[in-house]
Structure 1
Amino acid sequence: MQHTPRRTVSVLTGAVLALGLLAGCGDESRDAGDRPSTPASTPSAADTTTDATTEPTSGPTDDGMGEGAAVPVYYVGDTPGGDRLYREFTRVTGVERLVGAAAAVTQGDPVDPDYRTLWPGGRFTAVTLEADAIVVEVPEESWLEQGRLDRAQAKLAVQQLVYTLQGVVGKRLPVRVQYDGRPASTLLGVTVGAGLKATPELEVLAFVNITEPAEGTGVSDRFVAEGRASSFEATVIWEMQDSAGTVVLEGFAQAEGYMDKLYPWRTEVDASSLPPGDYTFVARTDDPSDGEGPGPTVDTKRITVQ
């Protein structure tokens, strides 16, 4: 009987993990499983094991599981509908990509100050890529319990991990959990079942996300802005604000679609009329309710026009 080899990535004592924002990194090549969050309900227990509508793809410099590569990491941010997931590309060195991505979820420090993680810190003991699943080994039994998180937070934290690891491997593989070498039935109090799956994008992801320009980067007076969104009639509204918060430039971009998931959007920004200096680039969803609804979802990046 022929066995499919497993690839186990363990977190070794003293391993170096360097996590940093990958500036100027484009969207994943094929609308990976990174999606918007509707200002609707918090994911239910059933949602946690619902297949997402599309498969993810790995990052723009992917070589499978290599070191020193870009990884998409999902963090939590505020939206009018409550906490949802935003994606930030990160480069890992010194460890393989699955390990680096998992560590970024549990203890990473996002570059964007608007993002955060719900995880309590620490690292998984191991991450294993198998033919039909991604397997994570928790270091302590307490990781299996809900702990200080409420139910909604625990479910979203689990989705942070699922979306991140699936984005790294480029497949919608279920995530299985082990403790002390044995299958575990829960993670942060969330039922694992046959494996944790990605909740549909519109239930957990923020409706707009900026990929470029990246937080804290310098841009020329003509630059490309892009990301992913699900906005009314596929319209993504953007603006640039100066250090006082005054809008000094504005426009809109057209995404490739909307309603069922997040779609790529892209626009060229002509900032040649602005003096060099620090600005905030803002992208938001269109608000057809004219202020009567919960309001638009927003993502921001601090940039320097050179």
Structure 2
Amino acid sequence: MNDQPNNEFDELMRRALHSEADRIEPADGLHEIQARVSTARKPVNRRPWVLTAGAAVVGTAAAIGAFAVLNGENRQAGDSEVAGAPDTTASATGTPQSPKPSATLPSPSAYAPTDPGTPKVKPTQAGKLEPESSGAVPVYWLGATDGSKTGAGVKLYRTFAPFKGRPAYAALQLMTSGKSTDPDYSSPWVGARVSEVRQTGSLTTVDFKALPKTRLDPEVANLALQQLVYTVQGASGASVPVQLTLQGRPVAQVFGTDITQQPLGRAQALDVQALIWITAPENDAVLSTPFKVTGVAAVNEAQLNWRITSASNRRVVDEGTAMTQEAFKFSDYTFVVDKLPAGRYTLEVFEVSAEDGRQTSTDTKTLVVK
């Protein structure tokens, strides 16, 4: 037997072990994401919209029984009571700030984090599945922006839906079903199939079994991507970037639009959200007068208008003005309707353009007064 060391063999083993060690990457720290409680109320809007000229209209959806919208006292969510928080800013003119000088929205890459340390997702199942819970989750939809002369013609609106299970996964299941409780809200994600949602302390990964086949105008496609980001972040309560994967691999294109960089960050609320939401009363609410109307808006000079018309003959039965707490940024408003005869009505809250007096950013509710 030869007891002398085999220097050649030792050198080969040392090289092999060194090569294997170089391929090991430290895993991200796991972070349990707990859904937070929100008292925000759902907004609705009674207007149809078209996704893009020449493209098929995404069908409006009937109300869904299992995902009926809850009232503000019963819901649980990560979203702030004020629309768009975090990342809500405004320009000095009250118009949405955009990273580009044109009216078009930035490309998806413009929403990506600039931190060079942001993790890059590889085909893997890194991170943890969400903890299971129950309550209500925010779901974002696309709806028309009445009176707007520029932009995609659609903005984000939010509803709340009850769930039991994993919150972000449940919210995405509803979003991709297209079954909004308001038939004027639609989702271009119909046809997509979500496999799972995984989280680390710095990233949420949404893995798809299938992506939607709809092709959209690039501006609308960017809004649809933000619809997903807002829904995931609102439901999970984690304002971290969102990575899209298809069967474990990063998504390069969706809606016919290239995604040049991932993960996706959350765009500023003024760039993507509707500027006026009615948060109470809810659509089709049955109530008696006097009743209070509350909402969130970002309007010029902090002033907005409201009008109530009879559903039977469209006659104006009451109207007035209201003030938000701050101008040019999302803040609360409230006003009281003193007296109405029994009947069915349409409530409109809107802004009058300082440029030409046109009615813009209208949100509506159907109400029944007993």
- Which of the five TM-score ranges fits, normalised by the shorter chain? 0.7 to 0.9
Aligned partner letter, 1:298: T
Whole-angstrom distance in 2 between the partners of 1:74 and 1:197:
16
CA contact (8 A) 2:309 2:318 kept: yes
Alignment of 1:278 with 2:344, yes or no, is yes
SS in 1 for 2:188: coil
Q: Partner of 1:250: helix, strand, or coil?
A: strand
Match of 1:221 in 2: 289
Could you tell me how far apart the structure 2 residues matched to 1:167 and 1:66 are? Answer: 16
Q: Is the 8 A contact 1:242 1:278 kept in 2?
A: yes
2:134·2:162 contact (CA, 8 Å) conserved in 1?
A: yes
| TM-aligned CA distance change 1:170 to 1:93, over 3 Å | closer
Matched, 1:296 2:360: yes
Which residue, 97, 101, 111 being the options, matches 2:167? 97
RMSD across aligned C-alpha pairs, in angstroms? 3.2
Secondary structure (helix, strand or coil) at the match of 1:198 reads coil
- Looking at structure 1, the residues matched to 158 and 203 of structure 2 have their Cα atoms a distance apart, in angstroms, of 24
> Are residues 1:71 and 2:137 paired?
yes
Task: Using the TM superposition, give the Cα deviation of residue 6 of structure 1 relative to its aligned residue in structure 2, in angstroms.
Answer: 5.9
CA shift, 1:224, in A, is 2.0
Q: What CA distance in whole angstroms lies between the structure 1 residues aligned with 2:131 and 2:235?
A: 8
Q: Aligned to 2:70, which of 22, 30, 39?
A: 22
Give 3-state SS (helix, strand or coil) of 1:19's partner: coil
Residue pair 1:20, 1:92 contacting (<8 A) in 2 also: yes
The alignment covers a number of residue pairs equal to 279
Q: What is the CA–CA distance in structure 2 between the aligned matches of 1:197 and 1:241, rounded to whole Å?
A: 41
Q: Report the Cα offset of residue 92 of structure 1.
A: 2.5
Corresponding residue SS for 1:264? strand
Letter in 2 for 1:131: G
Q: Could you say which residue in structure 1 is the equivalent of 2:327?
A: 258
User: Counterpart of 2:265 in 1: which secondary structure?
Assistant: coil
Gaps in structure 2 of 5+ consecutive residues: 1-25, 34-63, 114-129
Letter in 2 for 1:71: V
2:155 is matched with: 85
Equivalent positions of 1:113-262 (< 5 A) are 113-140=183-210, 142-143=211-212, 147-188=214-255, 189-191=257-259, 193-243=261-311, 244-259=313-328, 261-262=329-330
Residues 112 and 262 in structure 2, CA contact (< 8 A), matched pair in contact too: no
Q: Could you tell me how far apart the structure 2 residues matched to 1:263 and 1:47 are?
A: 29
Which residue of 2 is the match for residue 44 of structure 1?
A: 106
Distance 1:303 1:45, change over 3 A: same
Deviation at 1:137, TM superposition (A): 0.5
Decide whether aligned partners of structure 1 residues 198 and 76 sit closer, same or farther in structure 2, where only a CA change above 3 A counts. Answer: same
CA offset at residue 112 of structure 1? Answer: 2.3
Q: What is the rounded CA distance, in whole Å, between the counterparts of 2:283 and 2:110 in structure 1? A: 30
TM-superposed CA distance for 1:43, in Å, is: 1.1
| Kept after mapping to 2: 8 A contact 1:127/1:136 | yes
Alpha-carbon distance in 1 for matches of 2:237, 2:297: 20
Task: Give the Cα separation in 2 of the matches to 1:264 and 1:65.
Answer: 32
Structure having the higher Rg: 2
In 2, the alpha carbon distance for the partners of 1:179 and 1:305 equals: 49
* C-alpha contact 1:284 1:297 (8 A) present in aligned 2: yes
1:5 aligns with 2:30: yes
Instruction: Give deviations 1:16-56, integer Å, cap 9, x for gaps.
Output: 993212235699545252679859823121674167xxxxx
SS of the equivalent of 2:320 reads: strand
Residue range with higher mean Cα deviation, 172-181 or 146-155: 146-155
Quick check: 2:322–2:334 contact (8 Å CA) kept in 1?
yes
Q: 1:180–1:46: structure 2 CA closer, same or farther, 3 Å change rule?
A: closer
Q: Secondary structure at the match of 2:270?
A: coil
TM-score calculated relative to the size of structure 1: 0.79
What letter is aligned with 2:141?
Answer: Y
The 8 Å contact of residues 17 and 92 in structure 1, kept in 2 or not, is answered as no
The structure richer in strand per residue is: 1
How far does residue 179 in structure 1 lie from its aligned partner after superposition?
1.7
- The 3-state SS of whatever aligns with 1:149 is coil
TM norm structure 2: 0.66
> For 1:111 and 1:298, how far apart are their aligned partners in 2?
19
The residue that corresponds to 1:33 in the other structure is: 84
- Mapped partners of 2:132, 2:295: distance in 1: 25
- Once residues 258 and 292 of structure 2 are traced to their aligned partners in structure 1, the CA distance between those partners, rounded to angstroms, is 40
Q: Distance in 2 between matches of 1:190 and 1:262?
A: 31
Q: How many Å separate the matches in 2 of 1:255 and 1:152?
A: 29
